[in-house]
Amino acid sequence: MVRTYDFGEADRIVVLLSREEGLIRAVAKGVRRAKSRFGSRLQPFVELDVQLYPGRNLALITQADTVAYFASGLIDDPRRFTSACAVLETAEALAQAHEEPALFDLAKRSLTQLREAEDPYAPLDTFLLQAMELAGWGMSLFECAQCSSKGPHHAFHAAAGGAVCVHCRPPGSRDVDPEVLHVMWLLANGADASQLNTPQRAAMVHQLTRSYLQWHLERKLKSLQVLEEV
């Protein structure tokens, strides 16, 4: 479940991230009435088993059962909550661009990790890096993104594709500790980066990952903007 909109007097439109069919938009009739059988389950951060009746524009939800509930642990903590919103918004944006079955399980795993995370940016950044890999938006983190010369390199440019060498670095490139790029590579590939990661490096990973994602999405994600304020 990614998002809901109220519609008409008692209906709700929901956007679902599914494992098999990517994003599904569906309408749930009458669910805002008190007697609704499953209206209260149609919330973000709930994994649902739904029955859908295909429609012309929107599917119709005829039944929804809760499989897992992720909101506890997320909604009481502003940083976890905004990170979890960023996971869902990014999953929605990437699922629109690419149908990728593994995105569902990756998002689910990240929400589970976020519920207990002391530093919610760590699971968020891991999600963003791995989700971009899945979507074919992986960045170059060792070789130069422009000329493919072997790293480690000391500069990063989102629009250029990631790490850039001294010869290729475009104006506006950021100077980066190569170990930060190493940490990002480990996270993107599902490896343990805890040996190398320090709070300073993690903060830089967060900035670079966000700038790269934003450049790719060509629009700022609402929750990521909120994150800057938390």
Angle among Cα 158, 164, 169 to the nearest 5 degrees reads 90
146 binds Zn ion per the rule CB under 5 A: yes
168 binds Zn ion per the rule CB under 5 A: yes
Angle among Cα 76, 79, 80 to the nearest 5 degrees reads 65
Minimum CB separation of residue 163 from Zn ion in Å reads 9
Minimum CB separation of residue 133 from Zn ion in Å reads 21
Cα atoms in the Cβ-side hemisphere of radius 13 Å centred on 35: 1
3-state secondary structure of 88: helix
Closest CA to 83 of 49, 33, 42, 117: 117
Q: Is-contact 44 2, C-beta < 8 A?
A: yes
Residue 196 tokens, joined? 């190398």
In whole angstroms, give the CA distance from residue 214 to residue 182: 21
155 binds Zn ion per the rule CB under 5 A: no
- Binding string, residues 75-114; x marks residues near Zn ion by CB under 5 A: ----------------------------------------
Binding residue for Zn ion (CB under 5 A) from 42, 91, 106, 165?
A: 165
Taking CB under 5 A as the binding criterion, the range among 94-102, 149-157, 175-183, 221-229 that sits at the site for Zn ion is 149-157
Minimum CB separation of residue 171 from Zn ion in Å reads 15
How many chain residues bind Zn ion (CB under 5 A)? 6
Binding residue for Zn ion (CB under 5 A) from 144, 155, 202, 204?
A: 144
Minimum CB separation of residue 161 from Zn ion in Å reads 10
Element holding 141 (H helix, E strand): none
Minimum CB separation of residue 218 from Zn ion in Å reads 24
Nearer to Zn ion among residue 30 and residue 178 (C-beta) = 178
Residue 198 tokens, joined? 């320090």
Residues that bind Zn ion (CB under 5 A): 144, 146-147, 149, 165, 168
